[in-house]
Amino acid sequence: MRSTRVGSLAIAVVATAMLVLSAGALHAQQSNDDGRMRARNDRRDGAPGRSIVPGERIAHTGQGGTYIVLRDDTVWEVYLPDRTSTVGWLEGDFLVVKKAPVGHGNYTYELINGRTEEKAVVRFEGRSG
């Protein structure tokens, strides 16, 4: 009987520890108003934390999916074969921006849509603002 109580107590302690650790992990990933995931700001100088996921939300798309403008004012031109995917991307969709594993000429970046999980090879055109 006593070993059953000790076993139950050990399970309760482990479960509590897991909850505390999970809460700490959730606190480390807090979303700000524009929807980007940010690291908790532990810097003493007060500078904002770095983005955990290198991405941004779509501000708008143009010319049938040819251009994607993100909320950070960056403009991306989509590689012609990938425009059939980007034509359905919507304002507010979260996109991960990364170097393309295989580039096509000047199209050396890849956008991955978090809603549809579609990918598109793109090239950086500059800033819209």
Could you report the per-residue pLDDT of 74-126, keeping only the tens digit for each? 999 999 999 999 999 999 999 999 999 998 999 999 999 999 999 999 999 99
CB 84 within 8 A of CB 119: no
Provide the 10 A C-beta neighbour count for residue 50: 10
Mean pLDDT of 63-67: 92
Token representation of residue 74: 């960056």
Q: Taking the model in full, what pTM does it have?
A: 0.60
